[in-house]
Structure 1
């Protein structure tokens, strides 16, 4: 086919700006985990959608923020790397928060990281939370700060503006052959999706700082003769007391997490799932290259 288009669309922004929610709407399926907590997305997740004759590969990146830990550094490096991959870069900001110091930092970063062939657009999210006068003023102020090619008003949660965004992407990604089968919706290993699904359920149930000090790995994936799948996972925490919190009284928290994760994974793989989760204390997992590889991150980025 010579009249096809295909390209990468990178979504960047501050933590919790709505990038994962937007990508799930653009793809039409849940391919990236979503919680109310900031810094939920850790790795670059690719979702795929078809629009007319165009195949759109969306790159959901970790939020951009001031780094402290090794994990933070690797996440931010992955976000900027994802931005560099995009034929189109979408900066998402929240309408009600406006131009925060974090947004200013991202605008400064765009100046030195975006090459001339990339299209950069602005997506103002959560527009239902502010009045139109404020939206117009914010649009003008942002475009005065950076020469965005287009500005779109969206509500990622409610799906408003999705049709217009997809039409723009389909028209402006480069001409070329499709990179994936027409029915594929994600370019992420199932083992990683399974781990991220369980981590999402943990983040939704656990409070305060603990969700940021744990990671989940899929250590076993076995297809049974009856068509079912056995999945073995390990939740790593950094302190012994964190293990008790993750398990919950008499193991009830982990039991609830396992049920919720298994239900979602069953729909994902299309067969019965037998999920087994262990919780282990690993005080220095954030300094282990293997843990970062399992998350789809590059440990060498923590040394920069």
Structure 2
């Protein structure tokens, strides 16, 4: 009998949720950067273990929202938690203490009375005694079916974690083809990969003030694809920063994105990028629908 179910990965920003999902799926399906709040919408990755299909929902980090986009992201994270057969709280064990965002998540898990497991991530950066103390402190605030200690980046302990998750999935038919790794459309993948490279190459608050959209995807006769992506910025002055002198900064970022897309899609990609000024892009309801976010959250 086959098994299939959904696992929602929740936690504060930069706990390692996206890295964990990518490791469990076996390929990159969610963008990862050292900056907080990189994930904006819910991303699904699909892993197979024996006869079980585990569909991971990588949610935006949960934090105290200040802007409309922040509120929509946090709302999506909690919606993702309620959509799963199992919730996994991912905690950065290397942090010096349990942060306020995590404490609020623990309280909300108790209020919602959801079935949850706890993952202490980045254990390679902590000694075992402190890990046990941290696990005990977290478990005293909420009830967890199981506690796992692992390193998503080093893929240490992740096999046992996936095996356990597979055993917890309800019996039933697969939701996706067993060969699928994600349900992300190619157009969204292109936009997300380019946004990741912008996050990695730009500094301070600029990455949070932009968004990326794939405006056009043209299939070519030679099997390649021409992809046109627009980068929207909320301030006119940001255009020059992204472009760089003679367009060199954007050229470098575009090349990085193109190479990753070609590797992911196993085909030649012609990536064309443009920077456009749109003062109120963050208040455009249509963009929120594209990200599967609630504009009125």
Q: Using structure 2 for the length normalisation, give the TM-score.
A: 0.98
2:115 is aligned with 1:134: no
User: Is residue 192–residue 295 contact of structure 1 (8 Å, CA) maintained in 2?
Assistant: no
2:58 is aligned with 1:68: no
Match of 1:257 among 245, 249, 253: 253
User: Is residue 45–residue 181 contact of structure 2 (8 Å, CA) maintained in 1?
Assistant: yes
User: Is residue 24–residue 158 contact of structure 2 (8 Å, CA) maintained in 1?
Assistant: yes
Counterpart of 1:52 in structure 2 is 50
> Quick one: distance in 1 between partners of 2:198 and 2:77?
23
- SS state of the match for residue 56, structure 2? strand
Counterpart of 1:220 in structure 2 is 216
Structure 1 residue ranges (4+ consecutive) displaced by more than 4 angstroms after TM superposition: none
- Give the superposed CA RMSD: 1.0
2:31 is aligned with 1:21: no
Shift of 1:156: 1.1
- SS state of the match for residue 296, structure 2? helix
- SS state of the match for residue 154, structure 2? coil
> Quick one: distance in 1 between partners of 2:184 and 2:131?
36
Pairs within 5 Å for 1:1-304? 3-97=1-95, 98-115=97-114, 119-301=115-297
- How many residue pairs align between the two structures? 296
> Quick one: distance in 2 between partners of 1:298 and 1:249?
38
> Quick one: distance in 2 between partners of 1:93 and 1:43?
20
Q: Using structure 1 for the length normalisation, give the TM-score.
A: 0.95
> Quick one: distance in 2 between partners of 1:100 and 1:67?
15
User: Is residue 107–residue 142 contact of structure 2 (8 Å, CA) maintained in 1?
Assistant: no
Structure 1: any 5+ residue segments left out of the alignment?
none
Shift of 1:114: 4.1
> Quick one: distance in 1 between partners of 2:139 and 2:22?
27
User: Is residue 217–residue 294 contact of structure 1 (8 Å, CA) maintained in 2?
Assistant: no
User: Is residue 67–residue 76 contact of structure 1 (8 Å, CA) maintained in 2?
Assistant: yes
User: Is residue 11–residue 17 contact of structure 2 (8 Å, CA) maintained in 1?
Assistant: yes
Change (3 A) 1:225 1:62: same
> Quick one: distance in 2 between partners of 1:60 and 1:114?
20
> Quick one: distance in 2 between partners of 1:134 and 1:286?
42
User: Is residue 89–residue 121 contact of structure 1 (8 Å, CA) maintained in 2?
Assistant: yes
Structure 2: any 5+ residue segments left out of the alignment?
none
